[in-house]
Amino acid sequence: MVRRILAIVALGLLLQTLVLGSAFAQDFRSLVSQAAATNQTWVSQIDQALQATDLATLQAGAATALATGQRVQSLLQAALPLAPDDASRSRVQGVLAHVTAALQSGQQVAQARDFDTARSELNAERGEAQEALSELAPLFPPSPTAAPAATPTPAALPTTGGMPASAVILGGLATILAGFTLRRADQRSGLTDSGEARHARR
């Protein structure tokens, strides 16, 4: 009886660990995917700002891009403690270094007193923002921000916050296996009890 209870408890702990681990990984991927898409928007906004021909217009466009870059930084900072492994954590830290450098250049754009200086700093911001996007794109390719609406496909459906299918399947298999094992144990116990009863009658 005690062995049966311990088996059930161990199964419950294993299932909980699988579900929690999958949930953390899913949250990490969602945050980094959002960061990649926002990073692409950031680069596009910088490109638009670079088309300006006067300081005021350039700085106005740069301010919009800077706010988007700060959003990228916030998403990556939120994802960092949820990284499922050292490689993912290292990649996010590397991207954050580029993002921080880009934001520093973006802040210099707002303080520039002449057009050439502002444009130079904005170009520096773009370079770092593009580096950050290149680091993220291989793992989390963002959707084009300017693309027209298209018919969604199953692969493009958004990830919900529900339990991952892999965790559900593993949990179901583990539960079935545990039930089968416990049933075998009960049958063996019943056979043993029956044999002992027959022996006692003799």
Higher pLDDT, 184 or 159: 184
CA triple 31-146-118, angle to 5 deg: 85
Least confident of 18-32, 50-64, 104-118, 149-163: 149-163
* pLDDT tens per residue across span 48-102: 999 999 999 999 999 999 999 999 999 999 999 999 999 999 999 999 999 999 9
Q: What is the C-alpha to C-alpha distance for residues 120 and 112, in angstroms, rounded to an integer? A: 10
Residue 158: CB partners within 8 Å, gap ≥ 6? none
Provide mean pLDDT across the span 27-55.
Answer: 96
Query: What tokens appear for 110 in the block?
Result: 């707002």
Query: What tokens appear for 121 in the block?
Result: 């700093």
| The pLDDT of residue 137 | 75
Instruction: Please report how the helices 2-49 and 115-136 are oriented relative to each other, as an axis angle in degrees rounded to 10.
Output: 150
* pLDDT tens per residue across span 89-132: 999 999 999 999 999 999 999 999 999 999 999 999 999 999 99
- Look at residues 101, 94, 30, 41 and name the one whose alpha carbon lies nearest to residue 71: 41
State the Rg of the chain over Cα: 28
- Look at residues 60, 65, 64, 88 and name the one whose alpha carbon lies nearest to residue 76: 88
